[in-house]
Structure formats: C-alpha cells, structure tokens
C-alpha cells in the first residue's frame, strides 16, 4: 500500500477534500467528547475496566459510562471511578464505607469486588480514605467487552501498526 503515491496522484481539489473530511471527523469527535464532559459532569465520561478486580460486576474490557454530579451524595454500595495521587490510571471499585461529618465533609473507603482487602494499599501513602475530589465519576451503565480493543492495543503494541 503506497499512501504517498496515492496522495501524489490526487489533484489539489481531491486532496483538499480529503484533508477537510479528516478535520471534520476529528473535530466532531472532540465536540462529542467535550459535550459528554459537560452533560455528565465527569472529566472522563467513558472508561474501560482494565483489571478483573470488579468481577463479577464488571469484567476486563467492559466500557463504563460515568456521571459525576457533585450534589449527589456518595453511598456505600456505589461503584466509583477514582484517581489517586501518583497514579495515572483511574481505578474502578465499590464504596464499602462512608463517613459523614457534621460539617458535610464526606470520606469513604473502596474495595474491588474480587479483592480480599480494601483499597488503603492503593491510596497515596498516609491516606486512609478518599474524598469527593478524588472521584472521576460513578458508574451508571456499561457495555460488556467493548473496551477490549483498547486493552489489546495497549498490551500488544504491534496491533497499533496494522
């Protein structure tokens, strides 16, 4: 496949049309993503489950849809996606304990359904509880195994070049 040869054979109008089409696709995808961020209140409205720690509720490769409305209280039993300082990848786990103080401050503890112990070992050193500021979103729905494409591309970089 000779991509540059194909480009050289196009006249200027065809090339301009192809570049314009590509720009429209990219800008449409970005607008949809930004619109989802605004509608859901989450910095990352769609995430892929990367491990088996939440089985049987969610499996590796499931695509989760998130919302993060700050007015909604966090409750035990909810599945949240959170970021921990020092880790780049968000974690999907269930809230197992919630502590509400009189001043409205809420702290909570999480655990993967398939894990033996709670997540205190995952939090930054000296942190025993999560706060609302750590939450990226709450799981509201999912599509099973749709995110496997992302996992395969990360686990096997050769597939990116196909």
Alpha-carbon span 132 to 139, nearest angstrom: 15
State the burial class of residue 8 (Cβ atoms within 10 Å of its Cβ: 0-12, 13-18, 19+). exposed
State the burial class of residue 66 (Cβ atoms within 10 Å of its Cβ: 0-12, 13-18, 19+). buried
Options 93, 113, 118, 161, the catalytic residue: 93
Is 119 a catalytic site residue? yes
Is 59 a catalytic site residue? no
What angle (nearest 5°) sits at the alpha carbon of residue 41, between those of residues 70 and 154? 120
Options 42, 53, 62, 134, the catalytic residue: 53
Is 99 a catalytic site residue? no
Token duo for residue 108? 């909570």
On the CB side of 35, CA atoms within 13 Å amount to 6
Options 51, 72, 99, 119, the catalytic residue: 119
Catalytic residues: 53, 93, 119
């Amino acid at each position: 496949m000779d991509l540059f040869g194909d480009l050289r054979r196009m006249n200027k109008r065809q090339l301009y049309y192809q570049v314009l089409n590509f720009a429209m696709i990219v800008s449409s995808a970005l607008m949809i993503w930004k619109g989802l961020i605004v509608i859901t209140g989450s910095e990352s409205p769609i995430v892929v489950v990367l491990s088996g720690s939440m089985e049987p509720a969610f499996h590796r490769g499931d695509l989760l849809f998130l919302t993060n409305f700050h007015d909604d209280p966090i409750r035990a039993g909810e599945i949240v996606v959170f970021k921990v300082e020092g880790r780049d990848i968000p974690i999907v786990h269930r809230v197992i304990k919630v502590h509400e103080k009189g001043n409205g401050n809420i702290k909570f503890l999480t655990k993967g359904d398939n894990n033996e112990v709670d997540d205190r070992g995952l939090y930054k050193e000296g942190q025993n509880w999560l706060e609302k500021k750590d939450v990226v979103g709450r799981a509201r729905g999912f599509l099973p195994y749709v995110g496997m494409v992302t996992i395969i591309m990360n686990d096997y970089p050769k597939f990116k070049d196909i």
